[in-house]
Amino acid sequence: MSLVLDAFDAPPSLRLVARVLGWPFKWLGLKGDPNMPPATRALTALGPAYIKFGQVLSTRPDVVGDDLALQLRVLQDKLPPFSTRQARSTVETELGVPVDTVFSEFSEPVAAASIAQVHKARLRTTGEEVAVKVLRPNIEKAFRKDIDAFYLAASIIQFVSPSSRRLRPTEVIKHFDGVVQGELDLRLEAAAAGEYAAKTADDAGFVVPQTHFFHSAKRMMTMEWAEGIAFGEVEAIGAAGHDRKALGERVLQLFLRQALNDGYFHADMHQGNLKVSAAGDIIAYDFGIMGRIDEYTRRVYAEILIGFIRKDYRRVAEVHFEAGYVPADRDVDEFAQALRAVGEPIFGMNASQMSMGRVLAYLFEVTERFGMETRTELILLQRTMVVVEGVARTMYPQINIWQVAQPVVEDYIKQNVGPRALLRDLVATARVLGRFGPKLPHMVETALSQQGRVSSPVQPTRRRDHLFSFVAGAVAAAGVAGLVALLS
């Protein structure tokens, strides 16, 4: 714990609280593997949910320091494996046939993380090399224990510190619980991999291995084997002749394009889930955690990013208020000023010149000052943005994230915010209303009769006027849609 607090440069008060709260449990914890560094040993001993937290920290050497980030990178795919015998037993149980019936070769573990490990195998029918992912034994029970502990901790925090309720700790844990449950069913991961491959098929320099659905089940999954250098082996990537600067920029732009254009993105893009092929393509693995954001949220996210890029802090503040991210009773100008204090010091600097730890600390102060609550629907997006930015920085420390993001965000804004997007929205609205066309007369009559029963004599006329305005608006929208269709 002290290592993490030191890395974050935590204040003395927080260090004291951590020691007092931690002392009663000091003698109850597992010792972990003594061959591991202290922070890595502590997180692995605590359990798989804590390992997930360590994986995020491992991508941010600018926050926790190079030494601690390097220690924690072991958590990505180099944890102690379970036996091949157990893995083969799981495969046989899930597929209902002996392993040798399906695979002519089945290797020892080649990678092991918090939830599963991977074996290299060869399909007996085609001779194709594949990766077989197998869940750890009893992983469901281990995660359930961690999640229950998190729920208890969240309840205690909310009771002891009323000011923490704006962070909605219980709702955050509930969201995390749902994410984990999806990650523990590899049938869902196989489906996610298939959808992700379809959506990213045209993304240049990006590869999603093919899923073998027929050889996948709840606790094991088979995918095409894709050879490459792990994204965390930065020196090896450079020695192989790959352009690290281009790779750092590409991974950040790919994430932004997928999040903004598709609304579907890989939400666990740390170095352990990325490789670089001999041809220089980025290969993605492990699709247990995927993120979705709706069209409205994408537009809000893009407007916030472009506002920061253009230093239009007033517009960034307005978007926060319009989206309901900041309570309406706060002052928009004061919020814009606070955002300027965040943005100005980091513009014109590359990643190696910034203290992201200080930026995050100040951002937390801003959210507290303006009463901003945690938005659970944005947790995966925000978490992944932090991770991907850290991955890009590790690959190329001098990267300027604003310059890299600008063309992607501007392209999205051009296509999805403005007159063209408005016309497209009107067409979509008209189509929906058109489907209800045959029902509109009955809906109007029902609404008028219900209002007539419960309203005063004056009210029905006013409500009929409102209803008439709605129908007129629908007709107008349909007219606009027809005009657009004729002009296009």
- Mean of per-residue pLDDT scores for the chain: 80
pLDDT at residue 470 greater than cutoff 60? no
Provide CB contacts within 8 A for 368, sequence distance 6+.
163, 166
Per the residue annotation, which of 77, 268, 281, 286 is the catalytic one? 268
pLDDT surpasses 50 at 102: yes
**Numbers of helices and strands, H then E, in the chain:** 23, 11
Nearest Cα residue to 255 out of 382, 161, 160, 139: 382
Buried b (16+ CB within 10 A) or exposed e, 328-362: eeeeeeebbebbeebbeebeeeebeeeebbebbee
- With bands split at pLDDT 50, 70 and 90, how would you rate the model's confidence at 485? very low
User: For residue 55, is pLDDT > 90?
Assistant: no
What pLDDT is recorded for position 61? 66
Distance between CA atoms of 188 and 284, rounded to whole angstroms? 17
Q: Quick one: pLDDT band at residue 37, thresholds 50, 70, 90?
A: low
Q: What percent of the chain has pLDDT over 90?
A: 35
Is 223's pLDDT higher than 90?
yes
For residue 294, indicate whether it is catalytic.
Answer: no
Residue 352, CA atoms < 13 Å, CB-side half-sphere = 6
Helices (H), 109-219: 139-160, 169-183, 186-199
| Nearest CA among 424, 438, 393, 434 for reference residue 487 | 424
d(CA 254, CA 202): 11
Return the structure tokens found at 402.
Answer: 């604003």
Tokens matching residue 174: 């509930």
What pLDDT sits at residue 283? 96
Q: Are 325 and 440 in contact (CB under 8 A)?
A: no
- As a whole number of angstroms, the distance between CA 269 and CA 200 comes to 15
Q: Residue 323 corresponds to which tokens in the numbers above?
A: 């989206």
Q: How confident is the model at residue 153 (pLDDT cuts 50, 70, 90)?
A: confident
On the question of pLDDT at 284 being above 60, the answer is: yes
**Rounded to the nearest 5 degrees, what angle is found at the Cα of 163, between the Cα atoms of 162 and 169?**
80
Delimit the domains of the chain by residue range: 1-76, 227-417, 421-487
Residue 466 scores a pLDDT above 90: no
Select the highest-mean-pLDDT range: 87-96, 282-291, 463-472: 87-96
| pLDDT for the residue numbered 249 | 95
Please state, as a whole number, how many other Cβ atoms lie within 10 Å of the Cβ of residue 213. 14
pTM of this prediction? 0.76
Long-range contacts for 27-33 (Cβ within 8 Å, ≥24 apart)? 33/80
Evaluate if residue 390 carries a pLDDT over 90: no
Tell me what pLDDT residue 452 has. 66
Out of 7-16, 89-98, 319-328, 478-487, give the one with best mean pLDDT. Answer: 89-98
State the average pLDDT over residues 237-242.
95
Long-range contacts at 431-437 (CB < 8 A, ≥ 24 apart):
431/481, 433/474, 433/477, 433/478, 434/478
Distance of alpha carbon 210 from alpha carbon 224, whole angstroms: 5
Percent of the chain surpassing pLDDT 70: 75
Do residues 81 and 74 lie in contact, with contact meaning Cβ atoms separated by under 8 Å? no
Q: What are phi and psi of 47, to 5 degrees?
A: 140, 170
Choice among 131-135, 256-260, 345-349, 353-357 with the minimum mean pLDDT: 353-357
Pairing mode, strands 282-284 and 206-207: parallel
Please report, for residues 111, 269, 432, the alpha-carbon distance to residue 120 in angstroms, rounded to integers and kept in the order given. 10, 21, 49
Q: CB of 323 within 8 A of CB of 300?
A: yes
The confidence score (pLDDT) of residue 23 equals: 46
pLDDT digits (tens, 9 = 90+) for 408-450: 999 998 888 766 666 776 777 777 767 776 777 777 778 777 7
